[in-house]
Amino acid sequence: MDQIKILVDSWLNNYFKDKGTYESKIYQSMEYSIVNGGKRIRPILAVLTYGLYKNDIKEILPMACAIEMIHTYSLIHDDLPCMDDDDLRRGKPTNHKVYGEGLAVLAGDGLLNEAFNIMLKEAAINGEKHLEAATILGDASGVNGMIGGQVVDILSENKDISFEELSFIHAKKTGALLKSSILVGASIGGASKAEFEILSEFGSKIGLAFQIIDDILDVVGDENKVGKNLRTDSSREKNTYVKFFSIDECRKRAADLTNECFALLGKIDKNTEILEDLTRFLLERDY
Ligand code: GRG
Q: Compute the distance from residue 174 Cα to the ligand 1 centre, in Å.
A: 7
- Rounded to an integer, what distance in angstroms lies between the CA atom of residue 14 and that of residue 31? 10
Q: Among the atoms of ligand 1, which is closest to the Cα of residue 147?
A: 6
pTM exceeding 0.95: yes
End-to-end CA distance of the chain: give it in Å, rounded.
16
**pLDDT tens, residue by residue, 226-239:** 999 999 888 788 89
Shortest CA distance to 212 belongs to which of 178, 171, 248, 240? Answer: 240
**pLDDT tens, residue by residue, 30-52:** 999 999 889 999 999 999 999 99
Substitution site in 92, 173, 180 for ligand 1 pocket (most atoms within 8 Å of beta carbon) = 173
Q: Residue 174 above 90 pLDDT?
A: yes
User: Which residues surround ligand 1 with Cβ inside 6 Å?
Assistant: 37-39, 41, 71, 74-75, 77-78, 90, 146-147, 150, 173-174, 214
Please give the radius of gyration of the chain, using alpha carbons only, rounded to the nearest integer. 18
pLDDT of 196: 98
Chain centre to alpha carbon of residue 53? 22
pLDDT interval class at 223 (50, 70, 90): very high
